[in-house]
């Protein structure tokens, strides 16, 4: 698995996803969400391409294999641990900024 940079691992996916279909460039796009059991992760599939996410943050690269994404998200690795810590830090900082305003 390739190591992801902070920018790519924290890419906001909420703009791309919601629980219903959405229109992009005059075409309808089906978006599916699948919770990964016993993890805080979700597998998001858009037009047959899937990626892993946690909240509004992308964790994996897009691929056509749901099994590969699910297997990757179920593995506990140092890279995944760091990604989760970075996401939690970012969310905490955003919450602090909202509180301070």
Residue-wise pLDDT tens digits, 34-88: 999 999 999 999 988 999 999 999 999 999 999 999 999 999 999 999 999 999 9
Q: Which tokens is 84 given?
A: 């989760």
Q: Is the C-alpha dihedral spanning 5, 51, 90, 79 positive or negative?
A: negative
Residue 100 has a pLDDT of 85
Lateral strand order in the sheet of 49-54: 31-35, 42-46, 49-54, 57-58
Within its chain, how far is the Cα of 66 from the centroid? 14
The answer, yes or no, to whether residue 27 has pLDDT greater than 70, is no
Q: What is the pTM of this model?
A: 0.67
Residue 19 has a pLDDT of 43
d(CA 16, CA 51): 12
The answer, yes or no, to whether residue 96 has pLDDT greater than 60, is yes
Beta bridge pairs of residue 63: 50
Residue 13 has a pLDDT of 55
């Amino acid at each position: 698995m390739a190591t992801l940079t902070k920018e790519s691992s924290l890419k906001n996916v909420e703009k791309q996803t919601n629980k219903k279909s959405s229109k992009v460039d005059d075409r309808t796009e089906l978006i599916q969400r699948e919770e990964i059991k016993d993890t805080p992760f979700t597998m998001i599939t858009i037009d047959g391409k899937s990626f892993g996410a946690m909240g509004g943050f992308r964790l994996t690269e897009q691929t056509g294999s749901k099994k590969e994404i699910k297997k990757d998200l179920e593995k506990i690795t140092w890279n995944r641990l760091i990604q989760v810590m970075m996401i939690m830090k970012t969310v905490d900082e955003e919450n602090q900024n909202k509180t301070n305003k």
